[in-house]
Each structure stands twice: as C-alpha cells, then as structure tokens.
Homo-oligomer: A and B are copies of this chain.
C-alpha cells in the first residue's frame, strides 16, 4: 500500500438518509479506496465524507461522488447553517503517504476539469491548488454563498477555473483543492468565562497576530460548564500541535486559568502526534521510519 491520498468532500445534504447513502455508495463501489468515515450533520444539513486510496482510484471515486450529488441534491431548495455554495460544496485532496502535494494539485486539477466540463458545474481551485493567491482561502472563494454566486461569478476575478462561466442553479459551484491535513484540536479551560476563551482564541490565531496556521474561536461547553479554545491547525507540519497547545496554556496563565484537558476531533496523521512526542521527550535525530507501523505500510 504505497501511495495514499485522502479525499474529504463536503455535500449539501445532511438530513435525507437515502440521498446520503446513495452518495456514499459511490465510494464503496470503487475498488482500491476505503471509506473511513461519513458524518451527516442535520443542523448544518451537510455531510462530510472521508475516504483514502491510491491516486487513480481516488480520482474515480471523487468524480463519481460529485456526479451522484449533482443528480440527487437540488441547491434551489437547500437550507442549512453552514456556509455553502454547491451540492458538492468542497472537495480537498490531501497527501497521506508517498504522495507529494504536487500530485494532489494535479489530482485536483484533473477532477475539477471533469466536474466542470462533464457535469457543467463551475469549479474553483483553492488552497495549494489555487490558480491565484486571492483564491487560496476557501472562505474568500465561498463568500456570498450559493445565493450570491449568480452575481459573483460574473466578476472577472471570480471567473471559474473550469466549467461554465455561469452558475449552475441546481448544483451550485464547487471548490476543488489540495491541502495538508487539518487537525481539529480543542483546549478546555478550567473556567466558565467565555470571554477568556474568546480572548485567548484571538491571541493565538493568525488573524490576531498569533501562529501562522492556526484558526481559533472560543466555545462554551454547556454540559461541563467550562469553555474551550477550539482550533483548526491548517498546517501541522509548520505550526505543530504542541506549539498551539503551549501558546494557549501560556495565555491562559495570565487569567490564572488552568488547561483541564484537550480534544482531538476526528482523524489526524500519525506524524502530528509523533512530532509532539519528539518535542516533549527531546528526542535527537528521530526518523519517522523508526515507527514500526510506518515501515509496514511502505
């Protein structure tokens, strides 16, 4: 099992189980890819699908998913709490093992071209696959959402990378990209004061002058009567998990608030945690090839 790419498409349907299963079946149907997870969210009316496999089969499954979503989802009647612009809203390709970012960019371009030309859906390349710097950030690409895209698409700077220059009313538009794996990492604080979590979040995140690859916000955990700094680490190789953790802890000290625990949400690559063990244990000259499982997967 040499080369592995991960794909995490998000679809604008989180309530109709038949539709969700029919879409996910497109992953199950392809040999050489493995469905790792799918989590429908009723409030957001959105489903996140995670699958992995060799590059060729991931491309096939990814296109088939987008095709099935374009058949079964109608954006004209979609309502939900999460920002979205299309039936297949966003489709990132992520290098996992023996695959370079350049390969994932190439995959994003190929799949994006097919979605654009064969399905007639405007496609925007984003993150590492973006055709221009201002298109890198998904939030910038998606700003205006489905409803606003009928106008936005007519602006020269928002001409799609692939597909028609007009909005697809039924399927919307799709962002296809390549990126490093996201790590969702939350730090729980020993206080119920949400202002403290908010202030810390603003300090540690990129937007507030904090760490380059950290997005963060304060969240209240009602059941436990504590608050949390909820983070997305968008490049764990450059902004390591331990650095985000230590910075939250350091900022919490000024309020006399302890870190009572942390959470890793969903999946993360082995290296994100092993980098932390290396740091805290002060290991010299460590190679990921010393990890038994890494050698076996090779």
Contacts and interface: CB of A to CB of B under 8 A. Distances in A.
Contacts of A239: none
A72 interface: no
A10 to B, nearest CB: 18
Given A276-B277, A276-B280, A280-B242, A270 B293 contact: yes
Nearest to A276: B277
Contacts of A97: 293, 296
Contact of A284 (B4, B36, B96, B188): B188
A86 to B, nearest CB: 26
Interface stretch (A75-83, A132-140, A162-170, A255-263): A255-263
A34 interface: yes
A27 interface: no
Interface string A203-230: 0000000000000000000000000000
Contact of A281 (B181, B242, B267, B290): B242
Contacts of A283: 261-264
15 contacts: A52-B295, A96-B296, A97-B293, A242-B281, A260-B282, A261-B282, A261-B283, A262-B282, A263-B283, A267-B291, A267-B295, A268-B290, A269-B291, A270-B270, A280-B280
